[in-house]
Amino acid sequence: MAVYESLKAEVLSLPASDRTQLIEDILVSFGSSERAAVDAAWVAEAESRLAAYDRGEMKATPHLRRDPDAWKERI
């Protein structure tokens, strides 16, 4: 577990753009069936969020690429 905690701390210290790329690289390392399941889950999440927005239950937020760490202010 010490290796995991050390690696986690190192990854979390990376800039958001590097963490995003690392996530993508890890997802690509899974086989196609695992990736398809992850993609399907993200599609379901996106559709759920869009439906919530359409019902007025969720507000739009500025695109985070302008400030990748902006989400931290909302926590």
Q: What is the pLDDT of residue 37?
A: 86
Residue 6 lies in a domain: no
Residue 71 lies in a domain: no
- Flag the least confident range among 19-23, 26-30, 40-44, 63-67: 63-67
Residue 11 lies in a domain: no
Q: What is the pLDDT of residue 68?
A: 67
Residue 68 lies in a domain: no
- Threshold 0.75, pTM exceeds: no
Range of the domain at 41: 28-53
Q: Which residue has the higher pLDDT, 28 or 75?
A: 28
- In the predicted model, what is the mean pLDDT of residues 10-37? 87
Residue 49 lies in a domain: yes
- Integer Cα distance of 39 and 44 in angstroms: 9
Nearby residues of 74 by Cβ (< 8 Å), 6 or more positions away: 61
